[in-house]
């Protein structure tokens, strides 16, 4: 705004017509929310999953064969698997988005005092326009950016934007080192003390917070560890399936050409039929290699964890964030509100030899703050003093009314003290409160007392405490104003208050668990170096052996070259006086070093880093901009919730590995059966509908069972996995191949035995089919314990999902065998036959239990 416009607006404010014209020119005072992706596009994005892509290729091939053979049962099953996996993921993410919208709703209609048409009136925040005169008072949230033309002891909390808690504001620009000019008030900051008036210069997206909000919604290309693992798995499955299929086609066709006289005739039609038959066998091998249930398993595991993590105060907005938390190697955390309670409290009140009643009167009278229950209104430091009074059982309101204030000199950053004359029990006193080194100058003290005071203050400051000193002296009955100077004040020191923002009680233990789990915790804050280091010491992230280079300020970090900053990022534990760009640069450098980075924060200044991290963790009490930039929201603002999220994430990854083991054992067994049957020249021993039951329905139930396994705290004793580690580790690969081959050998032996006794009957094939299913049923117990030496029955009755699924599979198999008839090519089995099948397949679980028992004995301390 030009100076003439400001002068004109000061007296009467805008008229209604001018306000409407300004709104048309500059827009409404709202932050544009991130552009929403259309629902159809969000749904189609689900088909970008690497496993889904492989499944789509298999579906296309199956569809082509189905058209040739006029048999669509299998292709319908594959398309159903794709549809269920994508739709479930889409539903759960949309459901979380709705919950998030409710949580982060912005009160754009909150009232704002403005001067319009020559009178003060209240309008909704969104109705504030450029040129409006806004009246600011204690407790108000600044509705837009503006230039101050009145400022009486005005102090504003800019922590939501800059990380700076209390900034003094003036009507002129002062070179006081502040981030923004001293005559500017910024949207979404809070008035903590004093009052003022400003002329609005920017609204909505044009405000400083609007600019940061846009930066926080930039598109980033950070790929999650799970996505990279599934990419590799999809490529491996494609290569193995295609390789085996091509080899089988070449071997079968080559053997046929060498042994079949057909190839020495002119019957080209039968030759083409033979080639097509072998080609169909090869394609069947590719279809068998693709784990149809894997996308469903991953989606269900992530979705179930999303729901469960909400119960532990973690609102997950993006499915893959559930698992990515388990891979986190570094957490960059804000201090205020995340590690600390963001509630100033008096930790110690030193008042040796002072009149306690007079000190209480001084605190009550020489203050401008108020209490709303347990919530301070106004200056947070003064609020902490009033809360201390309340805890001590004293009513500051009663003392303030009884001890009438005669005169008051407000606090200013130049003086660094506040003075008040009040009548206490009929006598007038001068009370002073302020920075101890300033107040001490006005006191009559000996050198020994001054030295003792300096030593005490140093002790408080080394504990990251803010200090305030109190002094007073009696006055004559007619004195109603004083001119203060250190030389002739002759005050008596009453005491010193040590004030701090206390740690959240759960933080030290949570940080200890993170470090034990191999996760590095770095504090990135806008506070001073001394305070940040002391907080780091209190939470266990700093000790006497910590090197000096583990601490740096934001400006110092910015001055480092890229190579030096790259090396320094790894050793850093504390970054103080950090700005949004410093935090974002640190995150990017850590990612370049191969770290999986989580960032916590509650302010708009944290949003860019939240957006660029692998997992952004906003606080439930944080700004809407921070929440929109994050992947998860800690509803209870607790750092302990981060530990639970890591535990959930690591357990989830193990559950996905368990399902992959179970699914691929089924696929390897089926693949070898098709291959073996083709080599032996026999028909496929399993029908298409039986394969669908095994590969789709049964695996979906298994996905639900293994995905629903509760988290295990023992995962926190492990180090984070490397991003380069394949999701199928060597132990898993050995188990998949060995178990799959053993199952194949047993089943092939059954086929050979049946063939040796003459023509294979439907009853024998029903037994074969049931044995196949029961082998996998018992193997589900082994899958549950994969990656641990626990018995399969460890916490068995807590795993209700697994118990239900085991029952469903058993009952389902009985129903199919008994009533499946021609559809499933089965006939009912006797109870005796069922008993023998269950008994003969049970060694699958028994041998697994024996192997786990041996492992427990080996690792017993």
What is the C-alpha to C-alpha distance for residues 312 and 260, in angstroms, rounded to an integer?
67
- In eight-state DSSP terms, residue 313 is T
Q: Provide mean pLDDT across the span 643-651.
A: 88
Of the listed 132, 145, 153, 334, which one is catalytic?
334
Q: Which of 595, 620, 618, 592 is nearest to 605 (CA)?
A: 618
What is the C-alpha to C-alpha distance for residues 591 and 807, in angstroms, rounded to an integer?
45
**Chain segment 683-705, per-residue pLDDT in tens:** 557 765 676 677 656 666 777 78
**Chain segment 577-612, per-residue pLDDT in tens:** 888 788 889 999 999 999 999 998 877 667 778 888
Predicted local confidence at residue 288, as pLDDT: 63
What is the C-alpha to C-alpha distance for residues 310 and 307, in angstroms, rounded to an integer?
5
Predicted local confidence at residue 468, as pLDDT: 93
Predicted local confidence at residue 93, as pLDDT: 57
**Chain segment 815-853, per-residue pLDDT in tens:** 989 988 877 788 999 999 999 999 999 999 999 999 999
Provide the 10 A C-beta neighbour count for residue 337.
22
Take residue 795 and report the two structure tokens written for it: 């916490």
**Chain segment 452-485, per-residue pLDDT in tens:** 999 998 888 777 788 899 999 999 888 888 888 9
pLDDT band at 224 (very low <50, low <70, confident <90, very high): low
Residue 477 lies in a domain: yes
Query: Among the three residues 598, 616, 642, which one is the final residue of a domain in this structure?
Result: 642
Take residue 625 and report the two structure tokens written for it: 């901009």
pLDDT band at 57 (very low <50, low <70, confident <90, very high): confident
Least confident of 95-99, 728-732, 819-823: 95-99
Q: Which among 34-43, 193-202, 369-378, 387-396 has the top mean pLDDT?
A: 387-396
Sort strands 427-434 and 184-185 into parallel, antiparallel or unpaired.
Answer: unpaired
pLDDT band at 176 (very low <50, low <70, confident <90, very high): low
Q: How many CA atoms lie within 13 A of 572 on its CB side?
A: 32
Predicted local confidence at residue 581, as pLDDT: 82
Clarify whether residues 165 and 134 are in a common domain.
yes
- In eight-state DSSP terms, residue 796 is G
Can you spell out the DSSP letters for 144-211? SEEEEEEEEEEEEEETTTTSEEEEE--SS---S--SS-TTEE-TT-EEEEEEEEEEEEE-GGGSHHHH
Residue 856 Cα distances to 81, 497, 633, 731, 788, angstroms: 39, 57, 39, 17, 9
Q: Where are the alpha helices (DSSP H) in 593-683?
A: 607-612, 624-629, 640-680
Least confident of 19-28, 182-191, 442-451: 182-191
Decide if 370 contacts 390 (C-beta within 8 A).
Answer: no
Q: Which sign, positive or negative, has the C-alpha torsion 636, 637, 640, 644?
A: positive
Provide the 10 A C-beta neighbour count for residue 60.
11
Predicted local confidence at residue 681, as pLDDT: 54
Residue 228 lies in a domain: no
Is it the case that residue 50 has pLDDT exceeding 60?
no
3-state secondary structure of 600: strand
Q: Which residues contact 274 (CB under 8 A, 6 or more apart)?
A: 253, 256, 260, 262
Clarify whether residues 509 and 573 are in a common domain.
yes
Clarify whether residues 530 and 611 are in a common domain.
yes
Q: Higher pLDDT residue, 580 or 735?
A: 735
Return the percentage of the chain with pLDDT > 90, whole number: 30
Residue whose token pair is 């070093």: 593
Q: Provide mean pLDDT across the span 742-765.
A: 85
Q: Domain total for the chain?
A: 3
Residue whose token pair is 């590995």: 657
Task: Convert 606-628 to b/e letters by CB count within 10 Å (16 or more is b).
Answer: bbbbbbbbbbbbbbbebbbbbbb
Take residue 711 and report the two structure tokens written for it: 């988290």
pLDDT band at 2 (very low <50, low <70, confident <90, very high): very low
Residue 483 lies in a domain: yes
Predicted local confidence at residue 96, as pLDDT: 46
What is the C-alpha to C-alpha distance for residues 691 and 674, in angstroms, rounded to an integer?
11
What is the C-alpha to C-alpha distance for residues 447 and 425, in angstroms, rounded to an integer?
33
Determine which helix (DSSP H) or strand (DSSP E) holds 386, and give its type and residue range. helix 380-391
Provide the 10 A C-beta neighbour count for residue 696.
19
Residue 445 lies in a domain: yes
Provide the 10 A C-beta neighbour count for residue 269.
8
Can you spell out the DSSP letters for 319-385? HHHHHHGGG--EEEE-STTTTB-S--EEEEEE-TT--HHHHHHHHHHS---EEETTEEES-HHHHHH
Predicted local confidence at residue 3, as pLDDT: 46
Q: Any idea what the CATH number is for the domain that residue 600 is in?
A: 3.40.50.1000
What is the C-alpha to C-alpha distance for residues 578 and 573, in angstroms, rounded to an integer?
13
Q: Provide mean pLDDT across the span 224-245.
A: 74
Predicted local confidence at residue 285, as pLDDT: 66
pLDDT band at 51 (very low <50, low <70, confident <90, very high): low
Q: Provide mean pLDDT across the span 514-537.
A: 87
**Chain segment 476-524, per-residue pLDDT in tens:** 888 888 888 998 889 999 999 999 888 888 899 999 999 999 999 999 9
Predicted local confidence at residue 100, as pLDDT: 44
Which long-range contacts link 119-127 to residues 24+ away (Cβ below 8 Å)? 125/29, 126/28, 126/29, 126/30, 127/19, 127/23, 127/28, 127/29
Residue whose token pair is 């080209």: 268
Is it the case that residue 645 has pLDDT exceeding 90?
no
**Chain segment 337-366, per-residue pLDDT in tens:** 778 887 888 999 999 788 999 999 999 999
Clarify whether residues 357 and 490 are in a common domain.
yes
What is the C-alpha to C-alpha distance for residues 230 and 725, in angstroms, rounded to an integer?
12
What is the C-alpha to C-alpha distance for residues 655 and 302, in angstroms, rounded to an integer?
10
Decide if 228 contacts 723 (C-beta within 8 A).
Answer: yes
Predicted local confidence at residue 498, as pLDDT: 93
Q: Which of 605, 647, 424, 390 is nearest to 514 (CA)?
A: 647
Q: Which of 210, 209, 198, 141 is nearest to 1 (CA)?
A: 198
Residue 435 lies in a domain: yes
Query: Among the three residues 202, 218, 250, which one is the final residue of a domain in this structure?
Result: 202
Residue whose token pair is 């269950």: 838
Residue 774 Cα distances to 42, 414, 812, angstroms: 39, 82, 12
Predicted local confidence at residue 34, as pLDDT: 63
Mean pLDDT of the chain: 82
Clarify whether residues 540 and 491 are in a common domain.
no
Q: Which of 841, 678, 706, 836 is nearest to 773 (CA)?
A: 841
Q: Higher pLDDT residue, 229 or 331?
A: 331
Predicted local confidence at residue 724, as pLDDT: 73
Residue 683 lies in a domain: no
Clarify whether residues 353 and 478 are in a common domain.
yes
Clarify whether residues 485 and 564 are in a common domain.
no
Decide if 679 contacts 248 (C-beta within 8 A).
Answer: no
3-state secondary structure of 664: helix
Is it the case that residue 105 has pLDDT exceeding 50?
no
Is it the case that residue 177 has pLDDT exceeding 70?
no
Predicted local confidence at residue 573, as pLDDT: 95
Predicted local confidence at residue 424, as pLDDT: 93
Query: Among the three residues 465, 500, 535, which one is the final residue of a domain in this structure?
Result: 500
Q: Any idea what the CATH number is for the domain that residue 140 is in?
A: 2.70.150.10
Q: Provide mean pLDDT across the span 613-625.
A: 79
Q: Which sign, positive or negative, has the C-alpha torsion 499, 501, 506, 507?
A: negative
Q: Which of 58, 55, 59 is nearest to 76 (CA)?
A: 59
Predicted local confidence at residue 688, as pLDDT: 59
Predicted local confidence at residue 722, as pLDDT: 78
Least confident of 78-87, 118-127, 407-416: 78-87
Decide if 112 contacts 123 (C-beta within 8 A).
Answer: yes
Q: Across the strands, what pairs with 346?
A: 499
Clarify whether residues 393 and 528 are in a common domain.
no
Residue 88 lies in a domain: no
Is it the case that residue 61 has pLDDT exceeding 80?
no
Q: Provide mean pLDDT across the span 731-742.
A: 92
Predicted local confidence at residue 98, as pLDDT: 58
Q: Higher pLDDT residue, 80 or 147?
A: 147
Q: Provide mean pLDDT across the span 79-100.
A: 63
Decide if 256 contacts 43 (C-beta within 8 A).
Answer: no
Residue 565 Cα distances to 220, 487, 559, 568, 611, angstroms: 21, 51, 9, 5, 21
Q: Higher pLDDT residue, 720 or 104?
A: 720
Residue 224 lies in a domain: no
Is it the case that residue 381 has pLDDT exceeding 70?
yes
What is the C-alpha to C-alpha distance for residues 721 and 328, in angstroms, rounded to an integer?
9
Provide the 10 A C-beta neighbour count for residue 708.
19
Provide the 10 A C-beta neighbour count for residue 772.
25
Residue 103 Cα distances to 37, 92, 216, 309, angstroms: 20, 17, 19, 16
Least confident of 53-62, 450-459, 559-568, 648-657: 53-62
Take residue 21 and report the two structure tokens written for it: 């014209």
Predicted local confidence at residue 342, as pLDDT: 74
Clarify whether residues 524 and 493 are in a common domain.
no
Predicted local confidence at residue 428, as pLDDT: 94
Q: Provide mean pLDDT across the span 54-61.
A: 70
Domain holding 350, by residue range, is: 345-500
Clarify whether residues 450 and 532 are in a common domain.
no
334 is catalytic: yes
Tell me how far the alpha carbon of residue 737 is from its chain's centroid: 37
Predicted local confidence at residue 682, as pLDDT: 54
Residue 438 Cα distances to 62, 166, 467, angstroms: 85, 19, 12
Return the percentage of the chain with pLDDT > 70, whole number: 84
Q: Which sign, positive or negative, has the C-alpha torsion 572, 575, 579, 583?
A: positive
Q: Which residues contact 367 (CB under 8 A, 6 or more apart)?
A: 382, 385, 386, 396, 418, 433
Q: Which residues contact 813 (CB under 8 A, 6 or more apart)?
A: 770, 773, 774, 777
Provide the 10 A C-beta neighbour count for residue 143.
29
Q: Higher pLDDT residue, 507 or 283?
A: 507
Clarify whether residues 586 and 620 are in a common domain.
yes
Predicted local confidence at residue 604, as pLDDT: 65
**Chain segment 408-440, per-residue pLDDT in tens:** 888 776 678 999 999 998 899 999 999 898 999
Clarify whether residues 443 and 477 are in a common domain.
yes
Predicted local confidence at residue 103, as pLDDT: 40
Sort strands 375-377 and 370-372 into parallel, antiparallel or unpaired.
Answer: antiparallel
Tell me how far the alpha carbon of residue 425 is from its chain's centroid: 57
Take residue 206 and report the two structure tokens written for it: 């044009």
**Chain segment 128-165, per-residue pLDDT in tens:** 999 999 998 776 789 999 999 988 778 888 876 766 66
Take residue 649 and report the two structure tokens written for it: 């994430």
What is the C-alpha to C-alpha distance for residues 1 and 764, in angstroms, rounded to an integer?
91
């Amino acid at each position: 705004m030009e100076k003439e416009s400001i002068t004109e607006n000061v007296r009467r404010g805008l008229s209604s017509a001018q306000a409407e014209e300004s709104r048309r020119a500059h827009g409404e005072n709202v932050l544009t929310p991130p552009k929403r992706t259309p629902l159809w596009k969000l749904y189609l994005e689900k088909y970008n999953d690497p496993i889904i892509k492989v499944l789509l290729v298999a579906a296309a091939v199956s569809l082509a064969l189905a058209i040739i053979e006029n048999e669509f049962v299998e292709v319908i099953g594959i398309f159903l698997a794709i549809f269920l996996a994508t739709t479930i993921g889409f539903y759960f993410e949309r459901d979380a988005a709705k919950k998030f919208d409710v949580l982060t709703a912005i009160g754009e209609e909150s009232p704002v005092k403005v001067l319009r048409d020559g009178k003060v009136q209240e309008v909704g925040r969104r109705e504030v326009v450029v040129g409006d005169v806004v009246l600011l008072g204690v407790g108000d949230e600044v509705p837009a950016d503006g230039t101050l033309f009145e400022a009486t002891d005005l102090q504003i909390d800019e922590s939501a934007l800059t990380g700076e808690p209390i900034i003094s504001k003036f009507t002129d620009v002062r070179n006081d080192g502040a981030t923004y000019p001293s005559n500017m008030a910024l949207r979404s900051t809070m008035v903590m003390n004093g009052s003022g008036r400003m002329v609005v210069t920017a609204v909505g997206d044009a405000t400083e917070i609007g600019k940061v909000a846009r930066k926080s919604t930039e598109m980033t290309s950070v790929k999650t560890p799970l996505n990279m693992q599934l990419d590799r798995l999809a490529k491996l499955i494609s290569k193995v399936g295609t390789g085996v299929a091509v080899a089988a086609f070449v071997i079968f066709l080559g053997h046929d050409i060498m042994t079949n006289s057909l190839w020495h005739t002119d019957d080209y039609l039968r030759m083409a039929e033979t080639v097509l038959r072998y080609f169909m066998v090869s394609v069947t091998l590719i279809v068998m290699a693709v784990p149809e249930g894997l996308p469903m398993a991953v989606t269900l595991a992530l979705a179930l964890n999303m729901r469960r993590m909400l119960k532990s105060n973690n609102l997950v907005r993006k499915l893959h964030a559930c698992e990515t938390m388990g891979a986190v190697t570094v957490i960059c955390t804000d201090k205020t509100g995340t590690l600390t309670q963001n509630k100033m409290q008096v930790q110690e009140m030193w008042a040796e030899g002072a009149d306690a009643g007079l000190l209480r009167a001084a605190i009550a009278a020489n203050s401008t703050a108020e209490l709303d229950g347990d919530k301070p209104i106004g200056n947070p430091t003064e609020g902490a003093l009033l809360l201390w009074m309340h805890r001590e059982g004293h009513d500051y309101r009663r003392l303030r009314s009884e001890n009438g204030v005669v005169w008051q000199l407000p606090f200013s950053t130049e003086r660094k003290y506040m003075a008040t004359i009040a009548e206490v029990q009929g006598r007038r006193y001068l009370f002073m409160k302020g920075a101890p080194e300033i107040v001490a100058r006005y006191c009559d003290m000996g050198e020994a007392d001054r030295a003792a005071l300096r030593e005490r203050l140093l002790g408080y400051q080394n504990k990251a405490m803010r200090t305030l000193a109190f002094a007073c002296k009696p006055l004559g009955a007619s004195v109603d104003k004083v001119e203060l100077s250190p030389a002739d004040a002759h005050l008596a020191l009453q005491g010193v208050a040590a004030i701090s923002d206390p740690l959240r009680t759960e933080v030290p233990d949570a940080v200890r668990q993170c470090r034990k789990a191999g996760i590095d915790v770095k504090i990135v804050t806008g506070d001073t170096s001394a305070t940040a280091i002391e907080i780091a010491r209190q939470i266990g992230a700093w000790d006497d052996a910590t090197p000096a280079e583990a601490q740096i300020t934001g400006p110092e970090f910015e001055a480092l070259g890229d190579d030096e900053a790259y090396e320094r990022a790894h050793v850093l534990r504390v970054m103080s006086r950090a700005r949004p760009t410093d935090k974002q640069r640190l995150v990017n450098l850590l990612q370049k070093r191969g770290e999986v980075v989580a960032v916590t924060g509650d302010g708009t200044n944290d949003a860019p880093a939240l957006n660029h991290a692998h997992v952004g963790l906003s606080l439930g009490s944080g700004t809407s901009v921070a929440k929109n930039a994050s992947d998860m929201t800690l509803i209870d603002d607790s750092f302990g919730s981060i530990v639970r999220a890591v535990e959930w994430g690591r357990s989830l990854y193990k559950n996905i590995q368990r399902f992959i083991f179970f699914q691929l054992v089924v696929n390897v067994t089926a693949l070898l059966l098709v291959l073996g049957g083709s080599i032996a020249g026999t028909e496929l021993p399993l029908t298409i509908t039986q394969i669908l039951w095994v590969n789709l329905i049964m695996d979906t139930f298994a996905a639900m069972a293994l995905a629903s396994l509760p988290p295990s705290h023992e995962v926190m004793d492990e180090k984070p996995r490397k991003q380069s580690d394949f999701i199928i580790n060597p132990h898993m690969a050995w188990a998949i191949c060995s178990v799959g081959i053993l199952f194949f050998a047993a089943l092939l032996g059954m086929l050979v035995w049946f063939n040796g006794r003459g023509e294979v009957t439907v009853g024998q094939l029903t037994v074969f089919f049931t044995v196949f299913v029961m082998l996998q049923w018992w193997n589900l117990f082994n899958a549950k314990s994969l990656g641990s030496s626990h018995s399969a029955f460890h916490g068995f009755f807590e795993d209700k999902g697994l118990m239900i699924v085991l029952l469903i599979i058993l009952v389902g198999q009985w129903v199919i065998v008994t009533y499946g008839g021609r559809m499933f090519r089965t006939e009912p089995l006797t109870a005796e036959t069922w008993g023998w099948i269950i008994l003969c397949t049970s060694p699958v679980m028994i041998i697994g239990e024996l192997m786990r028992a041996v492992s427990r004995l080996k690792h017993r301390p």
